[in-house]
Amino acid sequence: MISPNGDGKPAISVIIVDSRSHIHPKWVEKAIDSVKNQSFKDLELIVLDNKDRKSTIGKMDNQGVEVAEGDWVYFLGDDDFVSIDYFGSLYSFIDKYADEDTVACTTYTTFFDDEKKVMSINANTPMGAFRREYLLENKFNEDIKRFVDVDIYKRLDKQKKKAKVCRWHFGYYYRQHGDNVSGRKNIKPIP
């Protein structure tokens, strides 16, 4: 792995918390493979086992941040997946638009529902990368069971920290199903 920064560290560490491979192995396999098959190779993949669901997502995410080596950390749901060029596009956006005060760079999401066979681009649910240093100092809330990502974005806003939003979609697919940690979303089919 060669870092664009020349420091030998990956540009982006991708964390997947596996809480479903025992009930939906194909979903988790697709999430992992979508990272492994990226055209952008300057990545570190960290898969954490939480199949017993004894730990909250916030606690697992914090554990992932502790072992991550990348300057940027990205959290991919074990039931979601990304397109083959997603991290290359995201890193290009980070490289071009993130200044030293930027702590998060996010993108739009495409929701999809396997059962209903519908997809919807959502501009209200950003998914993105965070600076590792920021997350080490501002840990995810380990006490809440849902919406840990919403909580961290609210704290960013309160702290007046910069989060850059890439205002287009380039490949994060959020799977809608009855067991979503963040609840059901309203999916309107793409015309």
* HEC assignment per residue over 83-143: CCCHHHHHHHHHHHHCCCCEEEEEEEEEEEECCCCEEEEEEEEEEEEEEHHHHHHCCCCCC
Taking only the tens place, the pLDDT of each residue in 103-133 is 999 888 888 877 767 667 766 666 789 999 9
pLDDT one-digit tens code per residue, 29-81: 999 999 999 999 999 999 999 999 999 999 999 999 999 999 999 999 999 99
- Annotated domain spans of the chain: 12-175
The CATH number of the domain covering residues in 12-175: 3.90.550.10
pTM of the prediction?
A: 0.88
d(CA 50, CA 60): 8
